[in-house]
Amino acid sequence: MNNSIARRQFLKQASAAGIGLSLASAAGSLARAADSTNANSKLTFAVIGTNGRGLSHVQSLTDLPGAEVAYICDVDERAIAKGIKETTKRQKTEPKGLRDFRKVLEDKSVDAVTIATPDHWHAPMAILALAAGKHVYVEKPCSHNPNEGELLIQAV
């Protein structure tokens, strides 16, 4: 029996696992920080982009104690419905669905956003979220070009 795995398949699985672990680790650090200040506190998240990797964000975040996904954002109504359905299966409260991510940035109760949109939106969304005082997790690549990367570093 041949149990070999194709290089491409291995790289996809390894990178998916690494991203999931880093998201869980970052969100876990935020959750521990919240727990250290108040035993009843929770962290409120918005997941932006739920047509692919964003659903993995939902799964990782809803596994963390003290974390709540309050918003699912996407320009596609079908992706919003998919994200809300997945979130509602995994947590008690149903998140709000929004097409315009800027509305999430106006909500002071949102502590952090995760961004899993097409690449050209990564840096602009992250910069706007940082300017709004949110913690940000953004999928790779974090920018569409080197200049956007520099702008993102300045925003941090």
- Dump pLDDT digits (tens) for 77-112: 999 999 999 999 999 999 999 999 999 999 999 999
- Bridging pattern class, strands 96-98 and 112-115: unpaired
Q: Which domains does the chain have, with CATH numbers?
A: 7-155 (3.40.50.720)
Which sign, positive or negative, has the C-alpha torsion 5, 6, 11, 16? Answer: negative
Q: What is the DSSP letter of 118?
A: -
Please say if the pLDDT value at position 25 is more than 90: no
Note the pLDDT of residue 91: 95
Q: Mean pLDDT, to the nearest integer, of 119-134?
A: 95
pLDDT bin (cut points 50, 70, 90) of residue 62 is: very high
Please say if the pLDDT value at position 11 is more than 80: no
CA angle 135, 136, 141 (to 5 degrees): 160
Q: How many CA atoms lie within 13 A of 37 on its CB side?
A: 9
Please say if the pLDDT value at position 149 is more than 60: yes
